Chain A
Amino acid sequence: MKKQTKNNLITYAIVIAAYIILEILMLTGNLSSHMKGLLVPMTYYAIIAVALNLCVGILGELSIGHCGFMCIGAFTSAFFSRATSESLPAAPRFIIALLIGIASAALFGFLIGIPVLRLKGDYLAIVTLAFGEIIKNVINAFYVGIDAKGLHFSMKSAMELNMDGGDTIVNGAMGITGTPHDANFTIGIVLLLISLFVVQNLVNSRDGRAIMAIRDNYIAAEATGINVTSYKMMAFTISAAIAGAAGVLFSHNITTLTASSQYFGYNASIMILVYVVLGGIGNIRGSVIAACILYLLPELLRGFSTYRMLIYSIVLIVMMIVNWSPKVIEWRKRTFGRIGAGRRKAA
């Protein structure tokens, strides 16, 4: 078996093992309701971390507006589910909502990519930042309602919809409330496995090698005849689509969806970037693990009450140093390497 394939299989195995252990704990009633509530958020943050790692680690373009794609996925799918919550049964409704969320996020990823991917480095980061903010603000100004006559749309206020009766679905800053609670842990894990499958296979494919060649040396890649723009677009669009899937899970896990900064602003995007950086840029498995740990951490520290944010920051600094400082890596290798060597000798 190739080393790469083996590595990928380990990643799937970790996710599936975690799923089985948690399911057993749940079935035997050993999991607190607090932990149960954290499972679905953990999966969607892991998914968006994988998406961002594709953009930052594999494509090598810094994006700090990825929550914008998540926002699009969340709103389009929630809109669909909310509008059809009475006319469609749960399973097909969620599948269609998922496809709609992914497709619209991918579409926006593509459209944004056209001008943006002509930029490099810091410039791209700034533009994605701006994009994330635009999405948030535009959605905050949307009013959409449905009545017997069909869809009504306004960007001024709910009164301008001129509906007789009917149902206001997107209510400006109030967002969408009452999205059916369709997401669960199993769906989250399945989506996480699918996104891992997509990203890991992309990386090992011919296209993936082209994308990484662009990251490593733009000029050399272009000189060997790689179509730089189209490969960049491809990676960026796939990344946006996966982020959209995370958004679908988000909006179907929580019944109030508002396009406010704490979920989709640049702080949230940078949070995702932190997951990616801690897990290792370009290391897909690391992203999943880092996202889970960093999402769990503040929740597990609830016992410390208001000090938990302080402790969280300290832990973040310590983790970054322990994981990525060259000196510490060297020391780790020496200490643990010796233990490993000793064990080998004994055996």
Chain B
Amino acid sequence: MNKFKRVFSAVLASAMVVSMLAGCGDAAPSGSGAEGSDAGSSSGGSVFKIGAIGPFTGAAAAYGNAVKNGAQIAVDEINAAGGINGTMIEYKSEDDELNAEKSVNAYNTLKDWGMQILVGSTTSACSIAVSENTKSDNMFQLTPSGSAEDCVKYDNVFRVCFSDPNQGIASAQYINDNNLATKVGIIYDSSDVYSSGIYQKFVQESEGKNYEIVSAEAYTQDNNTDFSVQLQKAKDAGADLVFLPIYYSDAALILTQANTMGYAPTFFGVDGLDGILTVENFDTSLAEGVMLLTPFAADAKDDLTVNFVKQYNDKFGETPNQFAADAYDAVYIIKAAIEKSGATADMSVSDLCEALKGAMTQIEASGLTSAKMTWEASGEPNKEPKAVVIKDGAYVSN
């Protein structure tokens, strides 16, 4: 009997713990969802249900959370201003743990919730996997940051960010047009889709330009702590510019190690380098003079950016990065497309998709990541890349 009591109390205690956790966990999503639905019922009509997918846990959590939060801010703003043509937006996000399989699961979960438009997935591989499902359901998909070529291979998928090839092409042209170098070294991550994608296009595009590629050294995520070999090769080959189509955490190490070996070429990066000034224990003075192509700089002085950064800081306690800006723009682009096509929330998912697909090629959107964006039917955005250079610990437009 005594034992029974003990077990019974243990079961009760664990039930209590679970229900408490349930309460905590539910608070965040239902809070944001409730806002939308309340507002929706007040306007009397139905609501547009927009879903977002990204990695909120695990290694790439920073990107997924940025997308989730960026979109949230846009949705709140639009709802506060009266919605899209008077129809409110309801917004929900699901975690995919940077796993394509889970991303499809997340998509199905959102579909059960009644999602009509998808902002996602955040990362390329997940986005490609999900696009297979949105294609068969004919649901409109706008990925904020899925940059691999195949992300938009179906006609119902569009993207906000530059594609990997476009970044490679833009970088090659920029270096050529501004006579930045005569000899270029490259260090890239061969185990990463994003990095190797840009690298491949950069090399192809570099043919016939006014510089030559003298070294191209790869590393993988399993050996990204020591870059002295790659740097030494670039140095021996006499590279006066080192192209880094990689993410900022690795780049911070490269800059530190280049400094220790007394090698000081121009470092040129792409949007993955955005965030290098926030790396912990990184001497930001080493990043002086680093150039990067990025669509978004958090310390730009235009009203839109200042307002966005302030709101993001107030709400989530950190400075937004490019992913947050892409997602913010994505929601406004959807708004513009809905307004252009005159679509309404009671249309079926498939009709809505057809309407938005037509409207996407006609709209001209302006947002955080570009003042002027237009789209091809292929899903690729047309926008000017912005180059910034790091001066006195801040991005300065070049």
Chain B residues whose C-beta falls within 8 Å of the C-beta of A173 in the assembled complex: 190-193, 196
Q: When each residue 154-178 of chain A gets 1 if its CB lies under 8 Å from chain B and 0 otherwise, what string results?
A: 0001110000000000001111011
Taking the complex as formed, is B84 at the interface, i.e. its CB lies under 8 A from any CB of chain A?
no
B271 in contact (CB, < 8 A): no
> Which single residue of chain B is at the shortest CB-CB distance from A299?
B105
Interface size class of A (residues with CB under 8 A): 35 or more
Q: Is A307 an interface residue (CB 8 A)?
A: yes
Structural contact, B105 and A38, CB atoms closer than 8 A: yes
Contacts of B191 in A (CB 8 A): 137, 140, 173, 260
CB pair A256 B25 closer than 8 Å: no
Q: Is the CB of B104 within 8 A of A37?
A: yes
Within 8 Å of chain B (Cβ to Cβ): is A30?
A: no
User: By the criterion CB–CB under 8 Å, are A306 and B101 in contact?
Assistant: no
Report which residue of B29, B150, B193 has the largest number of chain A beta carbons within 10 angstroms of its beta carbon: B193
A34 touches B129 (CB 8 A): no
The residues in A between 296 and 347 inclusive whose CB is less than 8 angstroms from any CB of B are: 299, 302-311, 318, 331
Within 8 Å by CB of A33, from B22, B26, B112, B196, lies B112
| Interface segment out of the listed B75-83, B197-205, B244-252 | B197-205
Residue in A159, A263, A307, A318 whose CB lies within 8 Å of B24? A307
Q: Is A32 an interface residue (CB 8 A)?
A: yes
Separation in Å of the A178 CB from the closest CB of chain B?
7
- Smallest beta-carbon distance A337→chain B, Å: 15
Identity of the chain A residue whose Cβ is nearest the Cβ of B24 in the assembled complex:
A307
Q: Decide if A302 touches B109 in the complex (CB within 8 Å).
A: yes
For the complex, give the distance between the alpha carbons of A158 and B199 in Å: 10
Residues from chain A with Cβ under 8 Å of B378 in the complex: none
Chain A, residue nearest B203 (CB): A159
- A140 contacts B190, CB within 8 Å? yes
Does A217 count as interface, using CB distance less than 8 angstroms? no
Stretch at the interface among B91-99, B296-304, B353-361, B380-388: B91-99
Cβ-defined partner of A304 (8 Å) among B25, B94, B128: B25
Chain A residues closer than 8 Å to B98, beta-carbon distance: 262
A254 close to B101 (CB less than 8 A)? yes
Q: Is B28 an interface residue (CB 8 A)?
A: yes
A residues less than 8 Å from B148 (CB atoms): 174
Residue of A nearest to B132 (CB): A255
Main secondary structure of the interface of A (DSSP, over half): helix
B190 touches A172 (CB 8 A): yes
Q: Is the CB of A306 within 8 A of B95?
A: yes
Residue-wise, chain B 191-231 has the 8 Å CB interface mask toward A (1 for contact) of 11100110110011000000000000000101000000000
| A263 CB contacts on chain B under 8 angstroms | 99, 101
Task: Give chain A residues whose Cβ lies under 8 Å from the Cβ of B196.
Answer: 157, 172-174
Could you tell me if B95 and A137 are in contact, using CB atoms closer than 8 angstroms?
no
Interface residue? B391 (CB, 8 A): no
Contact flags B312-356 to A (C-beta < 8 A → 1, else 0): 000000000000000000000000000000000000000000000
On chain B, the residues within 8 Å of A256 by CB distance are: 100, 125-126, 128-129, 150
Asked if A33 and B101 make an inter-chain contact with CB atoms under 8 angstroms apart, the answer reads no
Interface assignment of B57: CB less than 8 Å from any CB of chain A: yes
* Bound-state Cα–Cα, A254 to B153, Å: 16
Q: Is A209 an interface residue (CB 8 A)?
A: no
Chain B residues, Cβ within 8 Å of A306: 25, 56-57, 95
Chain B residues contacting A260 (CB-CB under 8 Å) are: 125, 191
Cα A177 to Cα B129 in complex, Å, equals 9
Among B3, B21, B150, B204, the residue within 8 A (CB) of A159 is B204
B29 near A305 with CB under 8 A, answer: yes
Question: Would A177 and B25 be within 8 Å (CB), given that A34-B111, A140-B220 are in contact?
Answer: no
Chain A CB count within 10 A is highest, among B22, B97, B101, B199, for B101
Instruction: Give which listed residue, B25, B192, B200, contacts A308 with CB less than 8 A.
Output: B25
- Residues in chain A near residue B281, CB distance under 8 A: none
Contacts of A41 in B (CB 8 A): 101, 105
CB under 8 Å from chain A, chain B span 105-142: 105-109, 111-112, 125-126, 128-129, 132
Q: Give 1 or 0 for each of B57-76: 1 = CB within 8 Å of chain A CB.
A: 11000000000000000000
Contacting pair A141 B21 (CB below 8 A): no
Contact A37 B192 (CB under 8 A): no
Give, as a whole number of angstroms, the nearest-CB distance from A328 to chain B. 9
Is A120's CB within 8 Å of the partner chain B?
Answer: no
**Residues on A with beta carbons closer than 8 Å to the beta carbon of B95:** 302, 305-306
- Across the interface, do B25 and A137 meet the contact criterion of CB distance under 8 Å? no
Contact between chains at B21 and A310 (CB < 8 Å): yes
- Tell me, yes or no, whether A258 is within 8 Å of chain B by CB: yes
Which A92-106 residues have C-beta < 8 A from chain B? Answer: none
Closest beta carbon of chain A to B226's beta carbon, Å: 17
> How far apart sit A177 and B128, CA to CA, in the bound complex (Å)?
8
B residues within 8 Å of A by Cβ? 3, 7, 14, 18, 21-22, 24-26, 28-29, 56-58, 94-95, 97-101, 104-109, 111-112, 125-126, 128-129, 132, 148, 150, 153, 190-193, 196-197, 199-200, 203-204, 220, 222
Closest 9 CB pairs of A and B: A304-B25, A37-B108, A307-B25, A34-B108, A33-B108, A32-B112, A256-B128, A255-B132, A34-B109
Listed A/B pairs (23) with beta-carbon separation below 8 Å: A33-B111, A34-B109, A34-B111, A35-B108, A36-B108, A41-B101, A140-B220, A157-B190, A159-B203, A173-B191, A175-B125, A177-B128, A254-B132, A256-B128, A258-B100, A260-B125, A262-B98, A262-B99, A303-B22, A305-B26, A308-B25, A309-B57, A318-B14
Identify 10 new A-B residue pairs, CB closer than 8 A, beyond the known A157-B200, A157-B203, A307-B25. Answer: A33-B111, A34-B111, A140-B191, A157-B196, A256-B150, A299-B105, A303-B26, A304-B25, A305-B29, A318-B14
